[in-house]
Amino acid sequence: MSRISGFLSGIKVVDLSRHLPGPLASILLADMGAEIIKVEPPQGEEMRTIGPVGRNSTSVYFDAVNAGKTGVRLDLKNPQQRETLLSLLQDADILFESFRPGVLDKLGLSISFLRQTFPRLVICSLNGYGEHSPLKKDVGHDLNYLAMNGVLAGTGTVDETVAPWPPLADCAASLFGMSTVLAALLERERSGQGCHVEVALADSVMPLMTFSLAELGLTGAGIPRAQALLNGGAARYRTYKTRDGFHVALGAVEPKFWQAFCVAADRPDWIARMDDPLPQNELQQEVAAFFAGLTLAECQQRFGEVDCCFNQVLELQDAVETPHMRTRKLVVKGSDGQYQALYPAYVDGEPPLRRVPFKEI
């Protein structure tokens, strides 16, 4: 048995959350051995109908974030079924929920009630804007959180913002929620007490903006879209199109990598231009013209063995079949044809175990 797949053996998680942030957090805990009880409303959660339908007549998106869990459907407005939830929480260690602030109160499941009733329970609320916000009742999705936090202002081309994929705020909130509840479990071993963790999706992207915030403090402005080193302004850190229509990525940030690229390209005159003022439009045009004159095969022959941070931009169907992916065994294909991206960590040389299918009781 993989050691990481037993790290959380004996830990029970009750997951009331929906969509992506909470379910992603709990499925990663399942990869480390936690028992996950997913609680859905009587009609099932909305994710069952969002996205392409799989072999079991349910959205493959739902299946992707709920494998390895046990499901139960409860009407939390029904007193008897609410008691069923409370019985599930009697020996639970973690509770995830993603309702808007105030909803749990209306259901008779307020945070204060849960904390008093289950003092060792670690409760994680994943919501849009947080209880202590003037926006706490507002609705939003990933795009809105990225827009309001300056992320979109630095993403895309000079003329147009581009929504990044995958959804950054959803994924960041999931990982911050998961890491915080794990830390809370560790603290509980010392204090004997659980706690309430709240991670607002609107807050979760700001730690990812560390470099942008550093520039804001220095210059009074964030990183301008498509004009900075790492977002499209530098010739040595961007993608280019080959003569036969493929795209390649060049990430030669450090001088040694840029020099290696220039030498392999037979353009030593570019070496001294590494630090041309940003945005490096003229140098980018020259490098773009260079790549446009080569086929992908010619690029790979010229740069494939050179330490210059060069590789092809792969479609996902090709990315999951590379020697790296096959060797690492962290993205696996099940007998149902669906892929699983497992918890991306090796412990003592072994990856996590594959997930079993979602089952309802």
Looking at the structure, tell me whether residues 241 and 167 fall in a common domain. Answer: no
Looking at the structure, tell me whether residues 154 and 297 fall in a common domain. Answer: no
In a domain, 213, yes or no: no
Name residue 320's amino acid. Answer: V
- CA torsion sign for 349, 172, 332, 55 is positive
Looking at the structure, tell me whether residues 165 and 289 fall in a common domain. Answer: no
* Residue 174 near residue 18, CB atoms below 8 Å: no
Closest residue by Cα to residue 38 from 57, 21, 52, 17: 17
Q: Which residues does the annotation mark as catalytic?
A: 170
- CA torsion sign for 287, 293, 295, 298 is negative
In a domain, 225, yes or no: no
Share of the chain above pLDDT 90, in %: 94
Looking at the structure, tell me whether residues 31 and 171 fall in a common domain. Answer: yes
The pLDDT, as a whole number, for residue 271 is 98
What tens digit of pLDDT does each residue of 327-361 get? 999 999 877 788 999 999 999 999 999 998 899 98
Q: How far is CA 337 from CA 15, 27, 271, 302, 324, in A?
A: 26, 19, 47, 37, 20
SS3 track for 68-135: CCEEEECCCCCHHHHHHHHHHHCCCCEEEECCCCCHHHHCCCCHHHHHHHCCCCEEEEEECCCCCCCC
The pLDDT, as a whole number, for residue 334 is 79
The pLDDT, as a whole number, for residue 337 is 82
Looking at the structure, tell me whether residues 301 and 168 fall in a common domain. Answer: no
User: What pTM was computed for the model?
Assistant: 0.93
In a domain, 187, yes or no: yes
Looking at the structure, tell me whether residues 112 and 157 fall in a common domain. Answer: yes
Looking at the structure, tell me whether residues 11 and 94 fall in a common domain. Answer: yes
DSSP 222: -
Give CA–CA dist 326/306, Å, rounded. Answer: 23
What tens digit of pLDDT does each residue of 276-295 get? 999 999 999 999 999 999 99
Give CA–CA dist 87/98, Å, rounded. Answer: 20
DSSP 53: B
R_g of the chain, CA atoms, integer Å: 24
Q: Cα dihedral angle (272, 273, 275, 276), rounded to 10 degrees?
A: 140
pLDDT band at residue 235 using 50, 70 and 90 as cut-offs? very high
Looking at the structure, tell me whether residues 256 and 108 fall in a common domain. Answer: no
Name residue 147's amino acid. Answer: A
Are β-strands 70-73 and 35-40 bridged in parallel, bridged antiparallel, or unpaired?
Answer: parallel
Looking at the structure, tell me whether residues 186 and 241 fall in a common domain. Answer: no
Helix (H) / strand (E) containing 258: helix 255-264
Looking at the structure, tell me whether residues 188 and 280 fall in a common domain. Answer: no
Number of domains present in the structure of the chain: 2
Looking at the structure, tell me whether residues 174 and 265 fall in a common domain. Answer: no
In a domain, 333, yes or no: no
DSSP 302-351: HHTTSSS-EEE---HHHHTTSHHHHHH-SEEE-TTS-EEE--S--BTTB-
Domain range for 291? 237-313
- Token pair in block for residue 279: 């945005």
What tens digit of pLDDT does each residue of 305-328 get? 999 999 999 999 999 999 999 999
Looking at the structure, tell me whether residues 34 and 105 fall in a common domain. Answer: yes
In a domain, 340, yes or no: no
E strand segments, 164-322: 195-200, 237-241, 247-251, 310-312
Give CA–CA dist 154/162, Å, rounded. Answer: 9
What tens digit of pLDDT does each residue of 163-201 get? 999 999 999 999 999 999 999 999 999 999 999 999 999
- Token pair in block for residue 209: 């903006």
Q: Which residues contact 31 (CB under 8 A, 6 or more apart)?
A: 4, 5, 68, 342, 343, 352, 353, 355
The pLDDT, as a whole number, for residue 56 is 79
